[in-house]
């Protein structure tokens, strides 16, 4: 029997890495789209493309005839989005709207990866139907992208994701590997003790997306089961990798000036996703798998 085809944008990125290597994806013929970076995965057909080229994207979807499209590409550097709003809008909103429109034309199931940063962090434990109120441009543009997806392709799936960690080789642009490298080098790390996220490993997120992408529409929160501060998560990382916790210093968000304003508590309620079969590991278990080499 011929395998279904899955098309993944952002295949050279952090989430893309985990999607390509998920046990769930083995049942598909995989096509990975990337712009920069490299993909060292032999079980996919990898295509370099500028997602901003609407004609090229339409031709790719027409040629491949995918059964599923997962849009994991984005400009995720919140500070860069804050200082280069035009680029952020182009990559995070326009590209998403165009790709959702193409998938709608071909009636291909479409999953868009959004973020917990669509919320203002005033209370945490956010449900899917809670009112978004982003504080930063990145969150604002992701929310606009969500609205565009819902407008042009109402049956699409929007997966809001938290701060992610995972395989160290996944991407040098993810904070996780850089944080561990910094501790290895004996550098002090200041971490917020008043910023809370539902951190989750890329493996759990990728498996959740691949499990839900064909059957579910609307908005769903794919995150970890635990609310944790950035500082406490940093301590857990140091303990898991047997690094020096004394290099970690707790600080407040107000102590560090950044381009993008940060919400205090964007923890996500994941009961809807769990009712649909999502089964994330705890961050402690996922860290244990990473350090044991079983990830």
pLDDT (tens digit per residue) in 97-118: 999 999 999 999 999 999 999 9
DSSP lists the bridge partners of residue 6 as 30, 68
Q: Where are the domains of the chain?
A: 4-166+200-225+268-281
* Structure-token match 């890329």, residue found: 202
> Is the pLDDT at 39 greater than 80, yes or no?
no
pLDDT in tens, 50-96: 999 999 999 999 999 999 999 999 999 999 999 999 999 999 999 99
Give domain 4-166+200-225+268-281's CATH number out of 3.40.50.2300, 1.50.10.10, 3.40.50.720, 3.30.70.980: 3.40.50.720
pLDDT in tens, 239-252: 999 999 999 999 99
pLDDT in tens, 179-189: 999 999 999 99
* Nearest partner of 198 among 139, 271, 258, 134, judged by Cα: 271
Q: Which is more confident, 212 or 39? A: 212
Cβ 216 vs Cβ 124: under 8 Å: no
What is the rounded average pLDDT for all residues in the chain?
Answer: 93
Give CA–CA dist 12/8, Å, rounded: 10
Cβ 152 vs Cβ 105: under 8 Å: no
**Beta strands at 200-201 and 110-115: parallel, antiparallel or unpaired:** unpaired
Cβ 109 vs Cβ 93: under 8 Å: no
* Nearest partner of 112 among 68, 70, 50, 163, judged by Cα: 70
Q: What is the largest CA-CA distance in the chain?
A: 59
> Is the pLDDT at 44 greater than 90, yes or no?
no
> Is the pLDDT at 288 greater than 90, yes or no?
yes
Strands (E), 162-247: 164-165, 189-192, 196-197, 200-201, 218-221, 228-229
Query: pTM score, two decimals?
Result: 0.94
> Is the pLDDT at 42 greater than 80, yes or no?
no
């Amino acid at each position: 029997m011929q395998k279904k085809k899955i098309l993944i944008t952002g295949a050279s990125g952090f989430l893309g890495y985990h999607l390509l290597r998920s046990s769930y994806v083995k049942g598909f013929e995989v096509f990975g789209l990337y712009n920069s970076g490299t993909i060292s995965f032999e079980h996919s057909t990898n295509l370099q493309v500028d997602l901003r080229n609407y004609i090229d994207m339409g031709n790719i979807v027409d040629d491949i005839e995918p059964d599923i499209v997962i849009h994991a590409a984005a400009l995720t550097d919140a500070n860069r989005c804050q200082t280069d709003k035009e680029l952020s809008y182009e990559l995070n909103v326009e590209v998403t709207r165009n790709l959702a429109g193409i998938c709608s034309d071909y009636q291909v199931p479409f999953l868009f990866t959004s973020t917990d940063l669509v919320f203002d962090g005033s209370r945490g434990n956010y449900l899917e139907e809670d009112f978004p109120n982003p504080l930063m441009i990145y969150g604002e543009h992701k929310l606009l992208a969500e609205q565009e997806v819902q407008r042009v392709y109402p049956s699409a799936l929007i997966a809001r994701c938290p701060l992610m960690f995972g395989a160290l080789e996944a991407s040098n642009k993810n904070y996780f590997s850089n944080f561990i490298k910094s501790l290895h080098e004996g550098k002090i790390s200041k971490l917020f003790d008043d910023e809370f996220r539902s951190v989750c490993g890329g493996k759990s997120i990728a498996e959740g997306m691949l499990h839900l992408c064909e059957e579910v529409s609307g908005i769903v929160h794919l995150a970890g089961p635990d609310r944790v501060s950035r500082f406490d998560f940093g301590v857990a990382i140091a303990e898991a990798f047997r690094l020096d916790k004394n290099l970690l210093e707790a600080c407040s968000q107000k102590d560090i000036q950044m381009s993008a304003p940060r919400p205090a508590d964007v923890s996500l309620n994941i009961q809807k996703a769990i009712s649909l079969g999502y089964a994330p590991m705890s961050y402690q278990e996922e860290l244990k798998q990473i350090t044991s080499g079983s990830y």
